Every structure is written in C-alpha cells, then in structure tokens.
Amino acid sequence: MLGAARGWADARGRRQRADDRRPFRLLGLPAVCWRCQRPTTALVGLLPADRRDVEDLITCAAQPVLAVAAAALSEQARQASGVGVLRPRFSRTAGHRYLSNGCRWCDALLGDFYLYTEHLPGLIAEHGLTGLTVVAVVALSEQQRQVIYDHGSTWTGWWHCDQPPTS
C-alpha cells in the first residue's frame, strides 16, 4: 500500500515537472564576421516570453547559460535564423577552447569579448531590445531556468540575482 502511494506521488511529481516549463525567447545579435565580412547572427541572450524590458535580458556570456540556450535551439531554427554553429572553439585571445558562437558562413569564432563587451552593450544602448532578433521561442524546464539564473548576467555585466516570479 505504501509502495502504491509512493508510486502515485512520483507520477504526480513527474507531471508537475513536465508542466513546469516556461517559454523563453532566444535572442540573436546581428554581426558582421571579422574574417569573411558576411552578415551572421550570434545567439547572445534569453528573455522570459512575457517580459519586454531590457533589464530582464539574461546574456549567454556565461558558458552554462549558452549551453542551455544552445541545447534548446533546434538545428532547423538555428539555420532558419542564420545563427552559426554553437560549439567549442579555440580562442587565442582567451588562450583556451570554449563553447562559442561562430560565423554561419566560414565558422570563424565570434569571440565573447567582442560580443558581450563591445557589440551587445553598444547596440542595446542605442536601440534597446529592438536591436536584437528573435531566434526562437523555447520552453525551459525549472532545472534549465535555475542554471540561467544562477550563472546569467545582464547586458551591463551584472549578475542576475532576481528571478522573476514563476506563477
């Protein structure tokens, strides 16, 4: 009887977890490849689907955040939105390999320093969120949201410490 009760609780728990996914927009940053000079898009941020403010943007500057965003982005949506392959690349600037954005045409590394320290803050300061493109809308689990709020930072580089209410 106890076993049956526990089984029921487990089944209910799994359903609750499955229902607990929340929609997020994956945001792209239009860029010009430093190597081939062609236009490409970098996956740089996540925004809860019900938010409109730039303060709610969580950048993908931290590796765990980019990993969540990359895993949530389907290959079809990546290609349709003109985002380059997300994979580890060696950076001479950083001196090591890291999960990174790349040019959709020639696969050149689009470095984090350029994306998050120079290009993204400049574009947001000038245009706000309208400067970014919506790459896809994805559903993130509670565990995935925990990762992005634990590791994510705002476009100004501050850590994100205030998770918006989920109800």
Q: In the complex, which residues of this chain contact Zn ion (CB under 5 A)?
A: 33, 35-36, 103, 105-106, 108
Q: What burial class does residue 77 get, using C-beta atoms within 10 Å of its C-beta: 0-12 exposed, 13-18 middle, 19+ buried?
A: middle
Task: Tell the smallest beta-carbon distance from residue 101 to Zn ion (Å).
Answer: 11
Task: Tell the smallest beta-carbon distance from residue 105 to Zn ion (Å).
Answer: 5
Of the pair 36, 94, the CB lying nearest Zn ion is at 36
Q: Which residue in 3, 21, 29 sits closest to 130, CA to CA?
A: 29
Task: Tell the smallest beta-carbon distance from residue 127 to Zn ion (Å).
Answer: 23
Of the pair 33, 70, the CB lying nearest Zn ion is at 33
Sole residue written with tokens 């984090």: 112
The full length of the chain comes to: 167
Of the pair 33, 42, the CB lying nearest Zn ion is at 33
Q: Which residue in 8, 35, 26, 12 sits closest to 67, CA to CA?
A: 26
